A and B are shown apart, each in its own frame.
Chain A
């Protein structure tokens, strides 16, 4: 088969060479006698034109793909940035370039990754919006990724999908009005009271979300009538499941309506302090424990979907506002009866983290032991190689052989 494929390929190459058979047949003298224009017209330029055409197509596809991605990103990021600034009252939104020019979002990796950032608001440290689009500027790569996805789904990567991720970090600051002081225990509030996992996950993305996010893979899955039927709760403990419903406006009524509207693109909303990538050691673990909220969606660009996404972000911000307000006005969680995140729950979540860390440490130790064992084996092999080289091994083998023979003889004597 390979021979016939090679034959076909060689046939194609021969037909390309055939295009200029006449020109190539001209002798040096004949070519010298021709004018420059005559030489140009005598040469068959079909192959070169074809190559140029292919190059032109590559350039065109790059430009079209790039502009398509940028336009989709603009459809999402521009209204979002405006909303964060005007409606959610963030002081600083977007970026400023070196030339002091305001930029709503930055694009990286040939317009496939987009990011914007907002900060400067009570209860919220920052909002980071990240979006990923497939590399439309490189249709060949897209096609190959599609093929891999189709034939070997296990090999599919994060870059094969399009998504938007909104990460909101709380700061524990609550100000009742413009003249009131900022609470001094903000950092402590965040460190102690935001350490739990409570999520609402779209049923269509349950498996995928748990596979890709470490914090979801340590949670229980629960269905409840209080939640739209297209979603499930994923929380560390069942008591935490109603957290978002409890702190949103109308005790979850509005959130439920929003969830129903966003069923086509929302993947999950999660309050968590654990990272999405599983830490590999104690240091990574310590660094990665940051309370935050993740809203993960498909990459939306239609006006209608962006409007719903804005409402979702607003709803989550409101939940953080209300929870922070509750913590500040009622003191810490301890002693308050009506809140969901009780001291007991926080104790349980702390235990779970300790267990998870212990698991990671144990795994690390196992890996280290494996590595040391391999190293020892390699050293032993190396030692044997050296002994063999120097002839020492033969002496050792001889000695061992003699020893075995002596033993054998001794055994025989004893039997006799």
Chain B
């Protein structure tokens, strides 16, 4: 099943459960905190294991692709040249960073704003996200890097509809971007 769809289902189920729980009860708060911390810790460990596997494999095969335009950052199409190791590391590090950001946000909402609900909602998704991540599938579950797991990874869509914001890997686009001469531009 589509991971984003399952995320929505889990969210709805968790919302229903949270409505039946007394989020003011210190015992429940304690358990919610414990589950949330364990979930974060487990996902962090999963990513670290994937990272270790990437470093151990040290795959220096070069990959080239054209990064699509970033309208938000006013960036043009840009050639990305990297190795499989660096690509994977960047991806895993991004996921680890998002764990930290999530923890910071949850910490703020829970300790400063006093909400326990968001903490409860986030009990399953970090572990689920980690187990469904492409890097974990390749490096921990040993799935071959083909099809959906072929690098560069395509961005996920809710109902399998292509987003049109995926990196280009065809020879023509890559060749054009390679000689585009977009480097060394000094912005004033």
Contacts and interface: CB of A to CB of B under 8 A. Distances in A.
Interface of A: 1, 150, 154, 203-204, 206-207, 210-221, 223, 229-230, 232, 275-278, 356, 359
A214 B184 contact: yes
A210 B181 CA distance: 9
B54 to A, nearest CB: 14
Interface in B26-83: 60, 62, 64, 73, 75, 79-83
A217 B86 contact: no
10 contacts: A203-B60, A203-B82, A203-B86, A206-B82, A207-B80, A218-B179, A219-B179, A220-B179, A275-B184, A278-B183
B80 A218 contact: no
Given A220-B179, A230-B60, A356-B181, A277 B186 contact: yes
Given A210-B81, A212-B184, A277-B186, A221 B64 contact: yes
Given A154-B73, A203-B83, A207-B81, A213 B60 contact: no
B185 A210 contact: no
Contacts of A215: 183-184
A82 B56 CA distance: 40
Interface string B154-188: 00000000000000000000000011111111100
Contacts of B178: 219-221
B102 to A, nearest CB: 14
A220 B81 CA distance: 11
A217 B82 contact: no
A359 B181 CA distance: 10
A207 B181 contact: no
A150 B183 CA distance: 22
Given A210-B183, A214-B183, A359-B181, 20 more contacts: A206-B62, A206-B83, A210-B79, A210-B81, A211-B183, A212-B183, A213-B183, A213-B184, A214-B181, A214-B184, A215-B184, A218-B181, A218-B183, A219-B178, A221-B62, A221-B178, A223-B62, A275-B184, A277-B186, A278-B186
A232 B83 CA distance: 11
Interface residues of B, number: 22
A150 B82 CA distance: 20
A229 B84 CA distance: 13
A229 B181 contact: no
B148 to A, nearest CB: 24
Nearest to A210: B183
Contacts of B75: 154
Contacts of A214: 181, 183-185
A207 B80 CA distance: 6
A278 B185 contact: yes
A219 B179 CA distance: 6
Contacts of B184: 211-215, 217, 275-278
Nearest to B82: A207
Contacts of A203: 60, 62, 82-83, 86
A230 B83 CA distance: 10
Contacts of A212: 183-184
A219 B181 CA distance: 8
B62 A232 contact: yes
Contacts of A213: 183-184
Contacts of B86: 203-204
Nearest to B113: A1
Contacts of A359: 181
Nearest to B78: A211
B79 A229 contact: no
A124 B183 CA distance: 28
A67 to B, nearest CB: 32
A151 B83 CA distance: 23
Contacts of B60: 203, 229-230
Contacts of A278: 181, 183-186
B109 to A, nearest CB: 12
B87 to A, nearest CB: 10
A364 to B, nearest CB: 14
A53 B186 CA distance: 41
B85 to A, nearest CB: 9
